[in-house]
């Protein structure tokens, strides 16, 4: 039935959540200013890494993801894995529609900028396994469905990323008579990203719920423990944004026209993928929580992997790397705005499933 009795969505958000666009704007501006005004900061931050993984960004993402994954009711995952329509729709959107759409937009909008075009295609191949969990939770999507779809994306990412990169950068352009290129990555590089940015917080969240409920009971865990750790998800998000923009602040502020050119296909991509996910979820009758999860997992991208691959293949100062960096610059404010669009739609949405734990 239609949720006409639900209170206004914004009223159900905490003060911290309601002011999220403000905090994110401040974090983005602070990162850009730090990267621009503090000499050598981006070099110093970039040097703090292990085997190509930026430790500050990794810390921020892990802090961001842990509270949300600790909220997941792992005893409900079987209801998600039995939903074949949801799983199939997610696979099609993420691994068929998404890469093909980004390839098309990159070639149509950036025909004269091959480096940026290649960088955007790489962004389209890197499906989101981290930050989407935050957007989904803020939009009151299905937490359990998000955990399953992110895990599914992770497995496909390990297997398909390099193969799809070869197809969209070399094979398909050759068939179409367009210039060809390639990427240099390995299944281990991708698996390492998955293990760090999904495996660690997922295991921590699972063990926390298991041990917390066993020791103190579900009521204590849900009503006392989770509210205490909940705000840390947004703290981790804001910290990640500051670090990410500080690392690339000089490039972004020094090449505003290039950033604008890269932003146009990204804006189109996020809008089409999110809208397509919502339309498909509604057509399949998934209900608001799972439709929201489907839309956000389709629209988000794994910027950390995309940037790492672009830097490893083309260099840190390359146009491909800049395109990867502009990805979250556009994705963060756009998906925050779409969180509020989702919450506005929630009252009128015909929901056929449970409320995803919210």
The per-residue pLDDT for range 204-241, each reduced to its tens digit, is 989 999 999 999 999 999 899 988 998 888 888 888 88
CATH number of the domain bearing residue 221: 1.20.1530.20
- Tens-place pLDDT, residues 279-293: 999 999 999 999 999
pLDDT at 217: 93
Determine, yes or no, domain membership for 235: yes
- Residue 226 Ramachandran class (φ > 0 left, ψ -120 to 50 alpha, else beta): alpha
Per-residue pLDDT, averaged over 323-331, amounts to: 83
Supply the pLDDT for residue 110. Answer: 94
Give the range with max mean pLDDT: 33-42, 183-192, 197-206: 197-206
In a domain, 356, yes or no: no
- Arithmetic mean of pLDDT, 3-25: 58
Q: Is residue 13 part of a domain?
A: no
- CB contact burial 310-341 (16+ within 10 A = b; e otherwise): bbbbbebebbbbbbbbbbbbbbbebbbebbbe
Taking residue 34's Cβ as centre, other Cβ atoms within 10 Å add up to 18
- pLDDT given at position 273: 96
Give how many domains the chain has, as a whole number.
Answer: 1
User: With 60 as the cut, is the pLDDT of residue 353 above it?
Assistant: no
Q: Residue 204's Cα: distance from chain center in Å? A: 20
Pick 106 or 50 by higher pLDDT: 106
Q: pLDDT value at position 17?
A: 63
Q: Is 358 part of any domain?
A: no
* Mean pLDDT of all residues belonging to the chain: 83
What's the CA gap between 199 and 192, in Å, rounded? 9
CB 148 within 8 A of CB 289: no
Residue 349's nearest CA partner among 14, 5, 79, 11 is 5
Tokens of 190: 């991708």
Is residue 357's pLDDT more than 90? no
Q: What is the reported pLDDT for 200?
A: 85
Element (H, E) at 325: helix 319-346
Instruction: Check whether 101 has a pLDDT greater than 50.
Output: yes
Structural domain harbouring 41 = 20-346
> What pLDDT score does 99 carry?
96
Q: Which pLDDT score is estimated for 18?
A: 66
pLDDT at 84 over 50: yes
Pairing of strands 49-50, 53-54: antiparallel
- pLDDT for 355 beyond 60: no
For the chain, percent of residues with pLDDT exceeding 70: 87
In a domain, 290, yes or no: yes
Find the length of the chain.
358
The tokens describing 220, both together, are: 């204590």
Read off the pLDDT of residues 304-316 as tens digits, 9 standing for 90 and up: 778 777 877 777 6
pLDDT at 253: 74
In a domain, 354, yes or no: no
The predicted model gives 297-307 an average pLDDT of 84
Map tokens 């491909």 to a residue: 320
CA dihedral 152, 335, 139, 122 (to 10 degrees): 0
Residue 6 predicted with pLDDT over 60? no
8: pLDDT strictly greater than 50 = no
Tell me the pTM.
0.79
Mean pLDDT for 22-45 is 80
- Say whether pLDDT at 4 is over 50: no
The pLDDT of residue 46: 66
Q: What angle do CA 160, 300, 186 make, to 5 degrees?
A: 30
Q: pLDDT tens, 128-179?
A: 877 788 889 889 999 999 989 988 888 888 788 888 988 999 899 999 998 8
Query: Does residue 86 lie within any of the structural domains?
Result: yes
Q: Are the CB atoms for 270 and 330 separated by under 8 Å?
A: yes
Query: Does residue 354 have a pLDDT over 60?
Result: no
CA–CA gap between residue 18 and residue 274 (Å, rounded):
21
For residue 14, is it within any domain? no
């Amino acid at each position: 039935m239609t949720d006409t009795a639900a209170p206004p969505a914004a009223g159900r958000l905490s003060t911290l959540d309601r002011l999220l666009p403000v905090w994110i704007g401040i974090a983005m501006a602070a990162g850009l200013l730090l990267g621009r005004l503090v000499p050598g900061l981006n070099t110093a931050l970039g040097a703090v890494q292990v085997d190509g993984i930026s430790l500050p960004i990794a810390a921020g993402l892990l802090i961001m993801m842990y509270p949300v994954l600790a909220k997941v009711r792992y005893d409900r995952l079987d209801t998600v894995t039995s939903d074949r329509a949801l799983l199939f729709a997610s696979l099609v959107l993420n691994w068929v529609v998404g890469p093909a759409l980004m390839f098309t937009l990159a070639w149509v909008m950036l025909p004269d900028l091959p480096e940026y075009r290649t960088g955007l295609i790489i962004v389209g191949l890197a499906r989101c396994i981290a930050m989407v969990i935050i957007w989904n939770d803020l939009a009151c999507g299905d937490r359990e469905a998000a955990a399953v779809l992110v895990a599914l994306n992770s497995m496909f990412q390990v297997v398909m990323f390099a193969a799809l990169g070869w197809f969209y950068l070399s094979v398909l352009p050759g068939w179409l008579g367009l210039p060809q290129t390639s990427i240099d990555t390995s299944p281990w590089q991708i698996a390492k990203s998955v293990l760090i940015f999904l495996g660690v917080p997922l295991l921590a969240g699972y063990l926390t719920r298991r041990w917390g409920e066993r020791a103190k009971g579900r009521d204590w865990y849900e009503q006392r423990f989770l509210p205490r750790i909940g705000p840390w998800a947004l703290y981790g998000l804001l910290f990640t944004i500051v670090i990410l923009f500080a690392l690339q602040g000089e490039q972004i502020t020094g090449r505003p026209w290039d950033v604008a050119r890269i932003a146009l296909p990204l804006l189109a991509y996020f809008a089409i993928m999110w809208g397509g996910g919502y339309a498909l979820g509604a057509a399949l009758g998934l209900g608001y929580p799972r439709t929201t999860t489907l839309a956000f997992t389709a629209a988000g991208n794994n910027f950390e992997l995309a940037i790492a691959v672009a830097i490893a293949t083309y260099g840190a100062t390359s146009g491909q790397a800049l395109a990867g960096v502009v990805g979250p610059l556009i994705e963060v404010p756009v998906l925050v705005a779409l969180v509020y669009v989702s919450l506005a739609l929630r009252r009128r949405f015909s929901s056929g499933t449970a409320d995803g734990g919210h």
